[in-house]
């Protein structure tokens, strides 16, 4: 989780990085910021792409033991196949954006103000 907020790659999160990361969740955060944050969650090695392995790891953390690894791998393979428009075996930010464009990412990633 630290890597998602650690914008300069220094290995720790300073106050500015923390506030910047949280700003994506505010009602003032735009859809692009929210998509970039969501993409960072999946792009574990920060190479600008979501690989099959990265998608498996993140989804495994989300579903835990609710699915067998084989079932989860089938979901990952299908997702990559559908989202990977240039057929390079990984999902770019642009492909990720197209994949989630019909979902309401902005609303699901916005914290309600009290």
CATH of the domain at 79: 1.10.238.10
Q: Is position 3 within any domain?
A: no
Q: What pLDDT, in 10s, does the model give residues 81-97? A: 999 999 999 999 999 99
**Side-chain half-sphere of 20: how many Cα atoms within 13 Å?**
12
For helices 52-63 and 69-83, what crossing angle results, to 10°? 130
The answer on pLDDT for 111 being more than 60 is no
Helix (H) or strand (E) holding 49: strand 49-50
Q: Is position 2 within any domain?
A: no
Task: List the domain range (segments joined by +) for residue 51.
Answer: 31-108
The mean pLDDT value for 68-83 works out to: 96
pLDDT band at 34 (very low <50, low <70, confident <90, very high): confident
The mean pLDDT value for 90-114 works out to: 76
Q: What pLDDT, in 10s, does the model give residues 45-71? A: 999 999 999 999 999 998 988 999 999
**Side-chain half-sphere of 14: how many Cα atoms within 13 Å?**
5
DSSP class of 85: T
6 neighbors 17 (Cβ within 8 angstroms): yes
The Cα angle at residue 92 between residues 29 and 39, in degrees rounded to 5: 35
Closest CA to 101 of 46, 31, 49, 33: 31
Q: Is position 19 within any domain?
A: no
60 contact partners, CB below 8 Å, separation of at least 6: 69, 72
Counted domains in the chain: 1
Q: What is the pTM of this model?
A: 0.75
């Amino acid at each position: 989780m630290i890597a998602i907020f650690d914008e300069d790659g220094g290995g720790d999160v300073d106050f500015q990085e923390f506030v910047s990361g949280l700003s994506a969740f505010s009602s003032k955060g735009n859809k692009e910021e929210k998509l970039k944050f969501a993409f960072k969650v999946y792009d574990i090695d920060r190479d600008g792409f979501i690989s099959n392995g990265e998608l498996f790891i993140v989804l495994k953390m989300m579903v835990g033991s609710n699915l067998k690894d084989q079932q989860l791998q089938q979901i990952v393979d299908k997702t990559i196949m559908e989202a990977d428009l240039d057929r390079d075996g990984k999902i770019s930010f642009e492909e990720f954006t197209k994949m989630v464009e019909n979902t309401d990412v902005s609303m699901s990633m916005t914290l309600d103000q009290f």
